[in-house]
Amino acid sequence: MGKVSLKVILLVLLVLSIFLLSLTYFRTSNFNFTKEQKIKLTNPLLRFVKFKEIQPFKYKIIELIEKDKAAGLVEEAAVYFRSLSDGLWFGIDERKEFSPASILKIPVMLTYFKMAEDNPGILNEKFKYEPQDTGGFVPGVKQNSTAEIGKYYSIDELIGFLIAESDNNADVILLRNLPPDALNNTFRDFGIDVSNIPPEGDFVSLKICAGFLRVLYNASYINEALSEKALEYLAKSTYRDGIVAGLPQDIAVAHKFGERFSSQTGKRQLHEMAIVYYPKNPYVLAIMTKGNDYSSLSKVIRDISELIYKEIDAQYKTSKRNFFLLSE
């Protein structure tokens, strides 16, 4: 009996030693990725890693917006920032309502992908790509679609055109072939009321729209494979004049923009939201603006993006500890 007990004790000590050695290894490893490894867009490392906390810098963004307002570049601007590592966030008029415009193409994608969880074959269904009635909308921000008139495309391919190229013809085709109330169910899931949209179309807040990206990053609305696919389409967006223009070229970004012109007021709205994959701290940045011309509004978005990136980068470069494993 004594020998058996001794063997048990030795086995427990061995297992405990292996555990402690592995814990030490993981606490000291740097998790460096090679260039050949493809970045994972959904929740990379977040399940295992705790990052350095970011110091607040909201006041710097407020100062920049006020300066741009004084210069006549923008009349209204809302900003939402959230670190996807430590949860730190701040908002500037993040609950103010704007017209989301093409930002709402993301819920169209989410609706189809939600249906694809139960019926994967739906993404293979094909429709003929033809010019559609887009209500007389003339884009102020030019986006060229690579879809060919008269050619048949799968729903999956149409979603690619919809998101990466903000294709309005693809939007109409996809909307027309959705089951009744399918899109409204998605809107309700995100707390969006489309039953009484005002004439100016300002009915959705920036914070709600930013939620589209958060659920994709966390894979909490659709499964991880489809969330990854959605973010890959967003990462292929051809719009480069806003958030992306304020970042280094080697930073991965999953993003979507939207624009709206009001014939009643003559005012323009330009919005963009993104997940910026800063290597040591990915973050959500969403910006909605209103003013007189798109070029000025895109500059405002670009400058906010650049300021935030430089702030994040500076904080990490001056820190001796970039990140460490959870020890709790």
pLDDT at position 140 is 74
Which structure tokens are listed for 52?
A: 């350095």
Give SS3 for 211: helix
CATH code of the domain containing 196: 3.40.710.10
Confirm if 286 and 272 have CB atoms less than 8 A apart: yes
In a domain, 181, yes or no: yes
User: Helices (H) and strands (E) in the chain — how many of each?
Assistant: 9, 11
- Give how many domains the chain has, as a whole number: 1
In a domain, 16, yes or no: no
CB proximity list for 49: less than 8 A, separation 6 or greater: 31, 85, 323, 324, 325, 326
Range of the domain at 112: 49-325
Which structure tokens are listed for 240?
A: 């480069």
Give SS3 for 20: helix
In a domain, 258, yes or no: yes
* Alpha-carbon dihedral sign for residues 269, 68, 298, 236: negative
pLDDT at position 292 is 95
Give SS3 for 109: helix
- pLDDT, tens digit only, all 328 positions of the chain: 455 566 555 555 555 554 444 444 333 333 333 333 456 787 744 444 444 567 789 999 999 999 999 999 999 999 999 999 878 899 999 999 999 999 999 999 999 999 999 999 999 999 999 998 776 666 778 778 899 999 999 999 999 999 999 999 999 999 999 998 999 999 999 999 988 887 778 889 999 999 999 999 999 999 999 999 999 999 999 999 999 999 999 999 999 999 999 888 899 999 999 999 998 789 999 999 999 999 999 999 999 999 999 999 998 887 644 433 232 2
In a domain, 96, yes or no: yes
232: nearest Cα among 291, 159, 168: 159
In a domain, 35, yes or no: no
- Strand runs (DSSP E) across 85-209, as ranges? 89-92, 97-98, 126-128, 152-154, 204-205
In a domain, 180, yes or no: yes
In a domain, 122, yes or no: yes
Confirm if 241 and 306 have CB atoms less than 8 A apart: no
Confirm if 265 and 167 have CB atoms less than 8 A apart: no
